[in-house]
Chains A and B, each alone.
Chain A
């Protein structure tokens, strides 16, 4: 019987297989950041162990880093200590690090792909759940905990329990103004935050094939919000074109050998998935969340749902608690929800296409009075590209704040936070209670919806901007 993409990548990494034991898998790339690694390095030190493969390991600073005044000492002493701890650990164990101020610094899931380190068929791990991002290249990529970080540092392997496979087939054309973010939010709302538990998702179908690499990363990034172990997309010409010429992409004969192998990385026609979901791309519209988990979303054109409409008791209770926390009432049109903050950035939507998309809507317009808009590029490289294209000027001319690269308000570990009761439209990935700051309320949106919302001051899509037609940039 044929195999799925995920099964092929898995099989090619089995170091040891024994009856009744989890497979031991080799890890091709281990990404580190300051938050989930200190206790792992401590463990190595206590046991007198070394990092087995420093040449397959790379670190960057992202979660804690400020996005203003980066040339000054970090004000929060605890954040500073954590960054200093990473620097000390990387120096002691010989791990390549891109610290704050370095040209390759940025959000770990933006840095790996842009360096060309993330390639098809690889196993990629990081102590961060959004490692699923790298699945966009046809890599098997997943988030791990700190104990597993230590395990990979020491052995370059992980014992892993078997997974199930789920096909998410998206056929048809995404309508104008409907982006990869709307698509993944709609998928999560359909299958639920637990719907992917135990599964590796494979996104396929004509709508997926048409997505750019960056859009594919947005989709795979949020696989974890459906509870999935990982999300993958089979590599194709789009993938190869993105990789060719990047710092760590193979060259010459290695390139040819790599592409020959990568072309085998697709689900066989006779392979069987454990579950299948079908989505009609043409039926999708801009999608936003109204609740406190990423599955609590709805089309922007609809209303806040009535908790009483849920048959399942725990879903009903979750919806009641979500509306209470979010300060919303059932039946309220989503378009009438006013915001005071707009955040464009994160490993979900902090890449150059995302910034172009938001800038194209803000160009010649202004951020509404009383709305604060933060634009935080996913990496220094993304920031430099945006500046080269003049996007920073578009943002600042519209009244948005142009910041330094990092995770920023996605999780508010640095000073970029919502105050209690503040409400944001955010291109990030999680609308959990307090995620962007204690008492803060988050609506997850696409970069286009974020920009239109900033202009109008309430949740809106570009089509709601009456003054001009807005083109959709290619690939987004």
Chain B
């Protein structure tokens, strides 16, 4: 995984709540067996509208998505994270994220930042009035900075460390091999196995 320390880029406001992962990447895109090539599927239905915020010339090249509450609800599809990253997003800011989406993001180095709804709206207003305004998402200082906005954010220390170092979770877990083997040796005999009976 690519490490995330700090990122500065332009923001694009997405003033919708409950953006589910079916909207982020519709199901017919999930037939692909790779992790890339999802950028054209991102918000596919909404992008058919020329007025949709991602289609507006002034927001082209933005790398920080500032979304409404409850972003990433629904399906567990990690393709939603890949689509956002393939399109060029480095961070998503919202007042609330769905759990699975947030977990998937952190595993791929897409930073999800939780800020109070008022701050999210302030950033949305800023991006709307001045699309060239830059927003800095600083994981080292756990802070979002933009003109007129300085807001701290929480992220649990372990998740932050993994992101800052770009650590591969599986390698870390495999260091615990003796503990896993010890646990396995003590599982009750009644627990089922998938071996055909």
Chain B associates with chain A: yes
Binding site for B on A (CB under 8 A): 15-16, 20-22, 24, 26, 28-29, 35-36, 38-39, 42, 47, 49, 54-58, 63-64, 76, 78-79, 81-82, 85, 96, 116-117, 119, 122, 127-129, 143-148, 150-151, 154-157, 159, 161, 193-194, 197-198, 224-225, 227, 229, 247-250, 254-255, 257-258, 261, 292-293, 295, 314-315, 317-318, 321, 411-413, 430, 432-435, 438-439
Identify 13 residue pairs between A and B in the complex whose beta-carbon atoms are under 8 Å apart, listed by A's number.
Answer: A35-B77, A64-B31, A96-B195, A129-B74, A146-B78, A146-B79, A154-B173, A156-B180, A248-B194, A250-B192, A435-B22, A438-B45, A439-B45
> For the complex, is B57 an interface residue (Cβ under 8 Å from A)?
no
Are the CB atoms of B73 and A193 closer together than 8 Å?
yes
CA distance A64 to B194 in the complex (A): 23
> Which of the residues A58, A85, A145, A438 comes within 8 Å of B100, measured between beta carbons?
A145
Residues of A within 8 A of B70 (CB): 193-194, 197, 227
Are the CB atoms of B179 and A15 closer together than 8 Å?
yes
**A238 CB → nearest B CB, Å:** 19
Known A39-B35, A155-B180: A147·B17 in contact at CB below 8 Å: no
CA distance A147 to B79 in the complex (A): 11
> For the complex, is B141 an interface residue (Cβ under 8 Å from A)?
no
CA distance A38 to B78 in the complex (A): 12
Are the CB atoms of A129 and B31 closer together than 8 Å?
no
Known A159-B169, A250-B190: A194·B16 in contact at CB below 8 Å: no
Residues of B within 8 A of A295 (CB): 18
Are the CB atoms of A227 and B179 closer together than 8 Å?
no
> For the complex, is B156 an interface residue (Cβ under 8 Å from A)?
yes
Are the CB atoms of B27 and A411 closer together than 8 Å?
yes
> For the complex, is B51 an interface residue (Cβ under 8 Å from A)?
no
CA distance A96 to B76 in the complex (A): 23
Known A144-B100, A150-B170: A433·B45 in contact at CB below 8 Å: yes
Are the CB atoms of B20 and A432 closer together than 8 Å?
yes
CA distance A81 to B20 in the complex (A): 27
Known A128-B76, A161-B156: A318·B169 in contact at CB below 8 Å: no
Residues B72-91 near A (CB distance < 8 A): 73-79, 81
CA distance A56 to B77 in the complex (A): 22
Residues of A within 8 A of B183 (CB): 15, 26
Residues of A within 8 A of B73 (CB): 193-194, 227, 293
